[in-house]
Amino acid sequence: MPTKQGIEAELNASEQHKANAEARATLVELDEFETMLRAAEREIWQPHWSHDDPLVDRLARIRAGRRLPRPYRALPRHAGQVDFDRVSFGR
């Protein structure tokens, strides 16, 4: 018969697995988004631009509001509010 500790360990392991899967899915979505953004930028590229420019600027240059797929349309409003230096991805 499983012990309480065994059941809790199994639940914690499955939660960790779920969190890892969600993190991987998010990374795939970010990669797809970056690919889409670079393709859109390539159509109108200017020599003084950089892919390291702030996300808000990159989205503005492609007029992101109209060109983004629906899940990403809120990005231009929120991109400037994220301080990626302070974002923590726990292990």
Residue 88 has pLDDT above 50, yes or no: no
Residues 6+ away with beta carbon under 8 Å from 51: 38, 41, 58
What average pLDDT does the chain have? 75
**So where are the chain's domains?**
4-81
**Quick one: pLDDT band at residue 42, thresholds 50, 70, 90?**
very high
Average pLDDT over residues 27-39: 88
CA distance 31 to 91: 21
Q: Which two tokens stand for residue 68?
A: 């983004």
